[in-house]
Amino acid sequence: MNENLFASFITPMMFGLPLVTLIVLFPSLLFPTSNRLVNNRLISLQQWMLQLVSKQMMSIHNTKGQTWALMLMSLILFIGSTNLLGLLPHSFTPTTQLSMNLGMAIPLWAGAVITGFRNKTKASLAHFLPQGTPTPLIPMLVIIETISLFIQPVALAVRLTANITAGHLLIHLIGGATLALMSINTTTALITFVILILLTVLEFAVAMIQAYVFTLLVSLYLHDNT
Amino acid sequence: MPQLDTSTWLTMILSMFLVLFIIFQLKISKHNFYHNPELMTTKTPKQNTPWETKWTKIYLPLSLPL
């Protein structure tokens, strides 16, 4: 039962060839490049959505922070499209892999922190000690703030991995339960089916929300450091 | 848990780097966000030609101080 349940999270490889690279590449096919002055409907829609999201997300930053706009926009599009495509049956979701999420979170977080260190050294070091702390508490508080700083990338990666994995697992389990119950007691199977529908709607929301949260947090770390 | 099998981690991370940092950014950087067309005034303002007053002074020999 355990082997079967986690089978959809094994990285797809075919005879040693990385099939997973093609899977990770696939969402970028759904975002065509805009070549002309007036584009087709799909590209115009995506461009409008991109403008909406970028205005909402980058308006809090100063000039230096807004240079990250391209990075953050491609991040939210990548995570959102990957999560949504993972809701199709029998598909592999790359964001369930801890490796990929760590690979996204650590460089982005480190980039924000190092930018802060290089440009505003005193202000970024001052983040370790909140204002108005009583003097005897200072050493302990510095240790706590350091730990909370270093846990940020790990939290980013694990949050995304755990949310998407848990959602997929629940869908598998409840779907399997519905199927098994159909021959035993149809009414219960119907109730379970309704639960499955609600869960799928939740998963659609979670797919997009997780993308948003990831990007928002990176943008917050950036805001602290620019 | 298959996510903790580190043998595939390098492949995953490299393909993610390729897609996220290169391909997506190349695609999105090609989007052009044009300004909305604005009205331009058809009347051109009168140019300030300071030599008009001076031309007569220099090139009219009868008025030169000699």
Residues of B in contact with A35 (CB under 8 A): 30
- The pLDDT assigned to B35 comes to 85
- The pLDDT assigned to A3 comes to 67
Contact: B19, A13; criterion CB under 8 Å:
no
What is the domain range of residue A74? 7-225
Within a domain: A60: yes
Within a domain: A2: no
- Percentage of chain B surpassing pLDDT 70? 71
pTM for the full predicted model = 0.83
Residues 6+ apart with CB under 8 A from A184: none
- The pLDDT assigned to B24 comes to 92
Residues of B in contact with A102 (CB under 8 A): 13
CB interface of A with B, residues 91-130, below 8 Å: 94, 96-100, 102-104
Task: State ipTM.
Answer: 0.79
Contact: A103, B13; criterion CB under 8 Å:
yes
Where is mean pLDDT largest: A23-27, A117-121, A221-225? Answer: A23-27
What tens digit of pLDDT does each residue of A168-194 get? 888 888 888 888 888 888 888 888 888
Residues 6+ apart with CB under 8 A from B48: none
Nearest to residue A96, comparing CAs of A158, A152, A17?
A158
Contact by Cβ (8 Å): A221, A113: yes
Residues of A in contact with B31 (CB under 8 A): 34, 47, 50
Within a domain: A54: yes
**Distance (Å) from the C-alpha of residue A194 to the closest C-alpha of chain B?**
29
- The pLDDT assigned to A48 comes to 94
- The pLDDT assigned to B52 comes to 58
The residue that leads in pLDDT, B4 or A170, is A170
Contact: A97, B4; criterion CB under 8 Å:
no
Residue with tokens 């940092």, as numbered in its chain: B21
What tens digit of pLDDT does each residue of A13-69 get? 777 777 888 889 999 999 999 888 888 999 999 999 999 999 988 888 888 888 888
Q: How far apart are CA A9 and CA A6, in angstroms?
A: 6
Number of structural domains found in chain A? 1
Residues 6+ apart with CB under 8 A from B51: none
- Residue B62 pLDDT greater than 80, yes or no: no
- Residue B56 pLDDT greater than 60, yes or no: no
Within a domain: A94: yes
What tens digit of pLDDT does each residue of A83-110 get? 989 888 888 888 898 999 999 899 988 9
Within a domain: A65: yes
DSSP assignment, residue B46? P
- Kindly report the CA angle at A203 between A70 and A89, in degrees rounded to 5? 100
